[in-house]
Structure 1
Amino acid sequence: MVKVSFYYQTNNIVRAEVEGHSNFDQVGKDIVCAGISAVVFGSLNALDNLVSQAEVKIAQSDGRIVITVLKPTNDNQMILKTMLWQLKTISDQYVKNISIKEVY
């Protein structure tokens, strides 16, 4: 299961973590993994290209991505909230393969 966590501070997302594997199907045929990857990496590309590196820190390791917001702005919050909504859409259909936790 892919586990996604969003952490908030005063209504701003200050950290997002994505880890695990969806195990929906075998490698190369896993549409849940492909959807999650498209959403997450699209968001990372947007953060990397549209916001200042002083605003966010992105760490990637095997099977885990952590986004830390150093300075919340309208732009980085919109990107992260869009990522959250897109992942929730996937989670609505594939509850056994992705879980989303929001911590306030």
Structure 2
Amino acid sequence: MIQITINRNSSGFIQSFKISGHAFFANRGKDIVCAGVSAISVGAINAVHELTGITPDIEHDESGLLSCTIPDGLSGEVNGKIQLLLEGMIVSLKTIEETYGQNIKITFKKQEVE
């Protein structure tokens, strides 16, 4: 199962997300759940970089791990753009979860104190 954790700060802004595991929907190279999650998440990271000029802290490996952390201290305008892009990513991932819930699980965590 693909596990997705979305971490929000105490203000509700997305601070980071982590994706790990495998969907096991189909054989490697034919897994539409894995391909969809990968396309959405990597596309969101690329959009953040391209449209805001901000490069998130990214960790990625062949085991299926993708971790993305948004830097601190951004202006309100830039952070607003990043939040909109990442909220769009979440909407798309939730759409996959609705159909393929046995292969993907999204968890939301909120930091209580900053």
Give your verdict on TM over 0.5: yes
Partner Cα distance (1:52, 1:24) in 2: 35
Whichever residue aligns with residue 87 of structure 1, its letter is: L
Q: Which moved more, 1:20-29 or 1:64-73?
A: 64-73
Query: What is the number of equivalent residue pairs in this alignment?
Result: 103
Q: Match of 1:27, SS? A: coil
Write the deviation string for residues 31-61 of structure 1: whole angstroms up to 9, x where unpaired. Answer: 111111111121121122122336x322212
Tell me which residue corresponds to 2:20: 19
- Separation in 1, partners of 2:90, 2:70: 15
> Partner amino acid for 2:19?
V
- What is the aligned counterpart of 1:93 among 74, 99, 102? 99
Off by >6 Å, runs of 4+ in structure 1: none
RMSD across aligned positions (CA): 1.4
> 3-state SS of the aligned residue for 2:25?
coil
Query: Unmatched 5+ residue regions in structure 2?
Result: none
Q: What's the TM-score, normalizing by structure 1?
A: 0.90
Partner of 2:42 in structure 1?
Answer: 41
AA of the residue aligned to 2:8: Y
Q: Which amino acid aligns with 1:91?
A: E
Query: In the alignment, which residue of structure 2 is the partner of 1:59?
Result: 59
**For residues 70 and 102 of structure 1, what CA distance do their matches in structure 2 show?**
19
Give percent identity, aligned residues only.
32
Q: CA deviation at 1:20?
A: 0.9
Flag the structure with higher strand content.
Answer: 1
Is 1:80 equivalent to 2:81 in the alignment?
no
Q: Which amino acid in structure 2 is aligned with residue 65 of structure 1?
A: L
